[in-house]
Protein backbone atom coordinates (compact mmCIF):
# COMPACT_ATOMS: atom_id res chain seq x y z
CA UNK A 1 0.00 0.00 0.00
CA UNK A 2 1.30 3.43 -0.92
CA UNK A 3 1.56 6.34 1.49
CA UNK A 4 0.19 9.84 1.01
CA UNK A 5 2.91 12.34 1.93
CA UNK A 6 2.14 16.05 2.24
CA UNK A 7 5.04 18.38 1.34
CA UNK A 8 4.62 21.88 2.74
CA UNK A 9 6.51 25.14 3.30
CA UNK A 10 5.17 26.84 6.41
CA UNK A 11 5.76 29.86 8.63
CA UNK A 12 6.13 29.54 12.40
CA UNK A 13 2.47 30.54 12.78
CA UNK A 14 1.32 27.83 10.38
CA UNK A 15 0.75 29.94 7.25
CA UNK A 16 1.26 28.21 3.89
CA UNK A 17 -0.24 30.89 1.64
CA UNK A 18 1.78 32.31 -1.24
CA UNK A 19 5.25 31.06 -0.25
CA UNK A 20 7.02 31.60 -3.57
CA UNK A 21 5.81 34.80 -5.25
CA UNK A 22 4.35 38.14 -4.23
CA UNK A 23 1.22 37.66 -6.35
CA UNK A 24 0.93 33.87 -6.02
CA UNK A 25 -2.22 34.04 -3.84
CA UNK A 26 -3.44 37.40 -2.56
CA UNK A 27 -6.76 36.00 -1.28
CA UNK A 28 -7.98 37.86 1.80
CA UNK A 29 -5.57 40.71 1.09
CA UNK A 30 -2.49 38.60 1.91
CA UNK A 31 0.50 40.86 1.31
CA UNK A 32 3.48 38.75 2.36
CA UNK A 33 3.76 36.59 -0.76
CA UNK A 34 7.25 35.23 -1.41
CA UNK A 35 8.10 34.86 2.29
CA UNK A 36 9.72 31.45 1.76
CA UNK A 37 12.33 31.97 -0.97
CA UNK A 38 15.01 33.63 1.20
CA UNK A 39 15.16 30.51 3.41
CA UNK A 40 16.37 28.14 0.70
CA UNK A 41 19.88 26.74 0.98
CA UNK A 42 21.67 23.70 -0.43
CA UNK A 43 20.20 21.33 2.16
CA UNK A 44 16.61 22.45 1.60
CA UNK A 45 16.96 22.43 -2.19
CA UNK A 46 18.30 18.85 -2.03
CA UNK A 47 15.33 17.95 0.20
CA UNK A 48 12.86 19.40 -2.33
CA UNK A 49 14.50 17.56 -5.23
CA UNK A 50 14.53 14.24 -3.32
CA UNK A 51 10.82 14.58 -2.49
CA UNK A 52 9.76 15.49 -6.03
CA UNK A 53 11.95 12.87 -7.72
CA UNK A 54 11.09 10.14 -5.19
CA UNK A 55 7.34 10.34 -5.75
CA UNK A 56 5.26 7.81 -7.63
CA UNK A 57 2.77 10.54 -8.52
CA UNK A 58 1.27 13.74 -7.20
CA UNK A 59 -2.04 14.70 -5.64
CA UNK A 60 -2.81 18.35 -6.37
CA UNK A 61 -5.58 20.78 -5.55
CA UNK A 62 -6.95 22.98 -8.32
CA UNK A 63 -4.93 26.11 -7.45
CA UNK A 64 -1.60 24.31 -7.23
CA UNK A 65 -2.38 22.33 -10.37
CA UNK A 66 -3.12 25.49 -12.36
CA UNK A 67 0.07 27.25 -11.18
CA UNK A 68 2.20 24.17 -11.87
CA UNK A 69 0.59 23.51 -15.28
CA UNK A 70 1.37 27.09 -16.31
CA UNK A 71 5.05 26.79 -15.35
CA UNK A 72 6.57 23.31 -15.40
CA UNK A 73 5.86 22.19 -19.00
CA UNK A 74 8.03 25.08 -20.26
CA UNK A 75 10.40 25.42 -17.31
CA UNK A 76 13.91 26.67 -18.09
CA UNK A 77 16.87 24.31 -18.39
CA UNK A 78 18.15 25.02 -14.88
CA UNK A 79 14.83 23.79 -13.42
CA UNK A 80 14.66 20.49 -15.32
CA UNK A 81 15.74 18.46 -12.28
CA UNK A 82 12.24 19.24 -10.92
CA UNK A 83 10.40 19.71 -14.22
CA UNK A 84 11.21 16.24 -15.56
CA UNK A 85 9.45 14.23 -12.82
CA UNK A 86 6.65 16.79 -12.45
CA UNK A 87 5.91 16.58 -16.18
CA UNK A 88 6.38 12.82 -16.55
CA UNK A 89 4.74 11.33 -13.45
CA UNK A 90 0.97 10.94 -12.94
CA UNK A 91 -0.87 13.90 -11.46
CA UNK A 92 -4.24 13.40 -9.77
CA UNK A 93 -6.20 16.62 -9.44
CA UNK A 94 -8.92 17.26 -6.87
CA UNK A 95 -11.32 19.83 -8.30
CA UNK A 96 -15.04 20.34 -8.69
CA UNK A 97 -14.59 23.14 -11.25
CA UNK A 98 -12.09 21.74 -13.78
CA UNK A 99 -13.12 19.55 -16.69
CA UNK A 100 -11.26 16.81 -18.55
CA UNK A 101 -9.21 16.59 -20.57
CA UNK A 102 -6.71 18.44 -18.40
CA UNK A 103 -4.07 20.29 -20.37
CA UNK A 104 -0.95 19.16 -18.52
CA UNK A 105 0.18 15.73 -19.71
CA UNK A 106 -0.35 12.75 -17.39
CA UNK A 107 -3.01 14.62 -15.40
CA UNK A 108 -6.26 13.01 -14.31
CA UNK A 109 -9.22 14.61 -12.62
CA UNK A 110 -10.33 12.74 -9.49
CA UNK A 111 -14.03 12.02 -9.87
CA UNK A 112 -16.64 11.41 -7.20
CA UNK A 113 -15.83 11.13 -3.52
CA UNK A 114 -12.25 12.28 -2.83
CA UNK A 115 -11.80 9.80 0.01
CA UNK A 116 -12.80 6.85 -2.14
CA UNK A 117 -10.58 8.03 -5.02
CA UNK A 118 -7.50 8.51 -2.83
CA UNK A 119 -8.01 5.20 -1.01
CA UNK A 120 -8.06 3.45 -4.40
CA UNK A 121 -4.82 5.21 -5.43
CA UNK A 122 -3.17 4.27 -2.12
CA UNK A 123 -4.11 0.62 -2.67
CA UNK A 124 -2.19 0.50 -5.98
CA UNK A 125 1.37 -0.79 -6.22
CA UNK A 126 4.18 1.71 -6.65
CA UNK A 127 5.96 4.58 -5.01
CA UNK A 128 4.25 6.93 -2.58
CA UNK A 129 1.93 9.76 -3.62
CA UNK A 130 3.04 13.27 -2.73
CA UNK A 131 0.75 16.22 -2.17
CA UNK A 132 2.62 19.43 -2.96
CA UNK A 133 1.19 22.62 -1.51
CA UNK A 134 -2.58 22.29 -1.96
CA UNK A 135 -3.44 23.13 1.69
CA UNK A 136 -7.19 22.72 1.20
CA UNK A 137 -6.67 19.22 -0.18
CA UNK A 138 -4.27 18.36 2.66
CA UNK A 139 -6.86 19.50 5.21
CA UNK A 140 -9.51 17.32 3.57
CA UNK A 141 -7.20 14.30 3.43
CA UNK A 142 -6.12 14.77 7.07
CA UNK A 143 -9.75 14.94 8.18
CA UNK A 144 -10.33 11.63 6.35
CA UNK A 145 -7.25 10.03 7.94
CA UNK A 146 -5.53 9.64 4.57
CA UNK A 147 -2.28 11.56 5.18
CA UNK A 148 0.51 9.25 6.35
CA UNK A 149 3.36 11.77 6.61
CA UNK A 150 3.90 15.51 6.77
CA UNK A 151 7.22 16.68 5.32
CA UNK A 152 7.58 20.30 6.25
CA UNK A 153 10.05 23.12 5.94
CA UNK A 154 9.21 25.52 8.76
CA UNK A 155 10.71 28.96 8.22
CA UNK A 156 11.69 31.32 11.07
CA UNK A 157 9.13 33.95 10.10
CA UNK A 158 5.61 34.85 11.26
CA UNK A 159 3.09 36.02 8.66
CA UNK A 160 0.45 37.22 11.15
CA UNK A 161 -2.42 35.86 9.08
CA UNK A 162 -3.23 33.98 5.91
CA UNK A 163 -4.21 30.48 4.89
CA UNK A 164 -3.00 27.90 7.38
CA UNK A 165 -2.25 24.25 6.89
CA UNK A 166 -4.16 23.03 9.91
CA UNK A 167 -7.91 23.56 9.98
CA UNK A 168 -9.51 25.15 13.02
CA UNK A 169 -11.82 22.15 13.40
CA UNK A 170 -11.28 21.19 17.04
CA UNK A 171 -9.82 17.79 16.10
CA UNK A 172 -6.82 16.48 18.04
CA UNK A 173 -4.35 14.70 15.75
CA UNK A 174 -1.15 13.08 16.99
CA UNK A 175 2.06 12.91 14.96
CA UNK A 176 5.42 11.26 15.56
CA UNK A 177 8.69 13.04 14.64
CA UNK A 178 10.60 10.81 12.22
CA UNK A 179 13.41 13.15 11.16
CA UNK A 180 14.51 16.76 11.60
CA UNK A 181 17.32 18.93 10.32
CA UNK A 182 18.16 22.63 10.65
CA UNK A 183 19.18 24.54 7.54
CA UNK A 184 21.85 27.24 7.34
CA UNK A 185 19.05 29.83 7.15
CA UNK A 186 17.46 28.71 10.43
CA UNK A 187 14.57 26.83 8.85
CA UNK A 188 13.64 23.41 10.21
CA UNK A 189 13.02 20.50 7.87
CA UNK A 190 10.89 17.96 9.70
CA UNK A 191 9.10 14.74 8.82
CA UNK A 192 6.13 13.72 10.96
CA UNK A 193 4.27 10.44 10.66
CA UNK A 194 0.66 10.12 11.69
CA UNK A 195 0.07 7.95 14.73
CA UNK A 196 -0.98 5.14 12.38
CA UNK A 197 1.91 5.72 9.92
Average pLDDT over residues 75-87: 97
Strands 4-11 and 129-132 come out as parallel
Average pLDDT over residues 118-143: 96
Q: What pLDDT is attached to residue 158?
A: 97
In the three-class reduction of DSSP (H, G, I as helix; E, B as strand; rest coil), residue 191 is classed as strand
Q: Mind listing the pLDDT tens digit for each residue in 154-165?
A: 999 999 999 999
**Residue 197 in this model has a pLDDT that exceeds 90:** no
**Residue 73 in this model has a pLDDT that exceeds 70:** yes
The model's confidence at residue 168, banded by pLDDT at 50, 70 and 90, is: confident
Give the integer Cα–Cα distance in Å for 176 and 179: 9
Lowest mean pLDDT among 62-66, 89-93, 154-158, 166-170: 166-170
Average pLDDT over residues 58-80: 96
- Nearest of 83, 50, 89 to residue 68 by alpha carbon: 83
Domains of the chain: 4-194 (3.40.430.10)
**Residue 111 in this model has a pLDDT that exceeds 90:** no
Give the integer Cα–Cα distance in Å for 151 and 26: 25
Q: What pLDDT is attached to residue 196?
A: 60
Amino acid sequence: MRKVIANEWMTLDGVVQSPSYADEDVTGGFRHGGWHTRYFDELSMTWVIENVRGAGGYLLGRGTYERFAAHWPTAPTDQQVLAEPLNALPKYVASTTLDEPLGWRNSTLLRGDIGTAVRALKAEEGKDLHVIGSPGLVQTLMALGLVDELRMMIDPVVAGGGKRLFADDGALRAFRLVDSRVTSTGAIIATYATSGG
